Structure 1
Amino acid sequence: MDRITPAIGKNLHQVSPSTSETSQPAPTTDPSGALVPFDYIQTTVVPLRPEHLERHRIVAYNKNSNMSWAFDLLRTQVLQAMEENGWRTLAITSPTPEAGKTVLAINLAMSIAHHTTKTALLVDFDLRRPRVGASLGLPMGKAMNELLAGKAELGEVLVNPTLPRFVVLPTREPVPLSTEVLSSPKVTGLIGDLRDRYDSRICIFDLPPLLSSDDAITLMPKFDCVLLVVANGQNSKKEIEDCLYHLGNANLIGAVLNKAEPQKHSYY
């Protein structure tokens, strides 16, 4: 398991380390831009396999795991920053691929779900390289692909992976013309509906890497705040500076240094 070290604040720095939802319809948009209702009653419940989660470094599913403490610490810092500002939507991105942003997004969402007063919704908006559903081992008969194509309703694609207060909107396979799709009125309406449906919901969006395409830059103004995942020894100073430039108008609440070497402590 790679080490993560959360750092909350504007500057990049290192520090030590209900099972388902029910609701009323809310409006969104169809591919033509017209408003239509999202009508879902109950999410599909899908059991997870612990051995699959372990292979994909998903440790926060078991809140008693001795490897989940870092995500719990990150959860506390993130929720404090969001609650202070009344924020509900959190984007997670990285400078480049393979920084570990999807693994972190899943573990953070699960840790938030363990928080007794919050519901966590995790959305896979990395339409070029979706990994959330596969990392969790979800069947994904219908997913974001069908929702965006108008072939499924929101209620048909939301999944509860047998963890109370945790819901996932997975993407099964890459979506063509992803930048155009993400900038569409339908996606704007979807984000608004997911954010506004429940007062206690925290929406986490796994975005593409910032420097790999313009997908994340296109989406960033739609979210309340963003968390940057940086891979130790992999992302250069120039890449980090480029990310901070692109995030200049965003509410960057912090950064996570992933894949860092463990630090030894004589106490705790």
Structure 2
Amino acid sequence: MKNRGTDEVDETITYSETRVVKLDTRHLEAHRIITFDSEDPDSVAFDILRTQVLAKMEENDWRTLAITSPTPDCGKTVVSLNLALSIAKQTEKTALVADFDLRKPRISSYLGLPPGPTLFDYLENDVELKDVFVNPGIPRFVILPNTTPIRNAAETLTSRKIKSLVSDLRERYESRITIFDLPPLMASDDAIAFIPQVDCVLLVVASGETTHAEVKESRRQLQSTNLIGVVLNKSADSHTAYY
């Protein structure tokens, strides 16, 4: 993977009423966020994943995608961010990533976002949604961040305010793909409580770590959803494989 020192991602675009920040490429690479650089050979696997996921979503007019895993540390957040970046960088669609892992939010730390209003403030402190969105200096890429763990996460994810938010994110822009980074399935009931609100689901498993029993149980839990694929992460041959 290339190391570009202290360089920052230098593509910027101003979204109406959206906070714009710049990202440090060294920080991104340290957290395995690589698709900001289309010349990085490791990003090819995510571009392939993007093509396969979008084909399935466009076929069904789906715009909202949940990404989860059987257990922690499978790399679901890394997949969420790299997939969204690939969509934003190489298509005409806008990609929005929402940190809905309410108990252990990680997207802000993975991207190195500066402090600011978050999903918690929108839910608990009546901060306006427009003040929460962040554009990390990359065209067509938007983040709905969170940094504060939220108690009663399952109840929050099924609340009227969240349902209204999800509906608005889906319907406001036809060209937007919204990705929800969810908690692991076996860590709590949060993901299963929320998933009925989205169009489809992607399951991330870790090569050499996730067991066959965990995959089987995850697929059982997701049997009533539109499970569009399983991503094998941390494989020796490439970073991701889709099946």
TM-score by structure 1 length? 0.83
Indicate which of 174, 185, 189 corresponds to 2:149: 174
Partner residue in 2 for 1:136 = 111
* Maintained 8 Å contact 1:140/1:170: no
Give how far 1:141 is off.
1.7
Letter in 1 for 2:132: V
CA distances 1:108-140 after superposition (whole Å, capped 9, x unpaired): 000000133100000000001100111000013
- What aligned pairs does 1:119-134 form with structure 2 within 5 A after superposition? 119-134=94-109
Deviations 1:15-49 (A, max 9, x none): xxx93444xxxxxxxxxxxxxxxxxxx21000000
Q: Does the 8 A contact of 1:121 with 1:169 survive in 2?
A: yes
Alignment-derived partner of residue 228 in structure 2: 253
Show the counterpart of 1:13. none
State how 1:136-155 maps to structure 2 within 5 Å. 136-155=111-130
Report what 1:197 is aligned to: 172
Count the aligned residue pairs: 228
Give 1:84 deviation, angstroms.
Answer: 0.3
The partner residue of 1:61 within 36, 47, 52 is 36
2:13 alignment partner, one of 12, 19, 38: 19
In 1: Cα distance, 2:103 partner to 2:48 partner: 30
Query: Which ranges of structure 2 fall in alignment gaps of 5 or more residues?
Result: 2-11, 239-243
Secondary structure of 2:77's aligned partner: helix
Q: Tell me the residue number matched to 2:49.
A: 74
Q: Which has the higher contact order (CA 8 A, sep 6+)?
A: 1
Question: Which residue identity does 2:98 align to in structure 1?
Answer: V
Unaligned runs of 5+ in 1: 2-17, 23-41, 264-268
* Residue aligning to 2:204: 229
The SS at the match of 2:41 is: coil
1:6 maps to none
Instruction: Find out whether 1:160 has 2:135 as its counterpart.
Output: yes
Q: Map Cα deviations across residues 134-175 of structure 1 (whole Å, 9 max, x no partner).
A: 100001321011011133110111000000000000111211
How far off is 1:176 after superposition?
A: 1.0
Work out whether residues 93 and 229 of structure 1, in 8 Å CA contact, stay in contact via their aligned partners in 2.
yes
**Given the alignment of the two structures, is residue 109 of structure 1 paired with residue 84 of structure 2, yes or no?**
yes
Q: Deviation string for 1:32-69 (max 9, x for gaps)?
A: xxxxxxxxxx2100000011001101000112212110
- Runs of 4+ in structure 1 off by over 2 angstroms are 18-22
8 Å contact from structure 1 (residues 87, 224) kept in 2:
yes
User: Aligned Cα RMSD in Å?
Assistant: 1.3
- Cα distance between partner residues in 2 of 1:261 and 1:51: 23
- Rounded to whole Å, the distance in 1 between the matches of 2:134 and 2:186 is 30
Structure exhibiting the larger radius of gyration computed from Cα positions: 1
Matched residue type, 2:93: K
Q: Distance in 1 between matches of 2:116 and 2:35?
A: 25
Give SS of 2:39's match. coil
Structure 2 residue matching 1:260: 3-state secondary structure: coil
